[in-house]
Amino acid sequence: MYTAENSRYAKTHEWAYKDGEIAVVGISNHAQEEISDIVFVDLPKVGQKVAAGQNCCVIESVKSASEIYAPVSGEIVEVNEALKDDPALVNREAHGNGWLFKIKMSAPAEYDALMDFAAYKGTLQK
């Protein structure tokens, strides 16, 4: 199971957890706290190809809309359908049932280049 500690992080606060050739993607707990009360998640389309760093999802809160970027390149193979009825699941479980989408990675080395939890935490304390 993916946790904050066993995930990798992009500078833009997305996390990824590698399960074979699939990466499960969500936003960090820090990011969901900054976004605050999430009211809508515009998920990517299954089958969509994305490049690392590409905007592929939007999270809307009561105060703003935030673009979410793919932390790795590949094809979207699944989206979290539960978020359509309960977008606040991201607030409650950023590193669990609040995941956003899954990507079949086309460049697995990109995953290895993401920050580990300790490095990510270090960026938050600056």
Place of tokens 């990824």: 16
Q: Over the stretch 14-41, which tens digit does the pLDDT of each residue have? A: 999 999 999 999 999 999 999 999 999 9
The pLDDT value given to residue 125:
76
| CA trace torsion 95, 97, 102, 107 (10° rounding) | 20
Compute the C-alpha angle 43/41/22, nearest 5°.
40
Predicted confidence (pLDDT) at residue 62 exceeds the cutoff of 70: yes
> Mean of the pLDDT values across residues 65-83?
98
Q: How far apart are CA 21 and CA 28, in angstroms?
A: 21
Predicted confidence (pLDDT) at residue 42 exceeds the cutoff of 80: yes
Q: How far apart are CA 58 and CA 41, in angstroms?
A: 6
Give the confidence band of 126 by pLDDT, cuts at 50, 70, 90.
Answer: low
What average pLDDT is seen over the chain? 95
Domains of the chain: 1-23+41-101 (2.40.50.100)
Nearest Cα residue to 59 out of 49, 74, 50, 69: 69
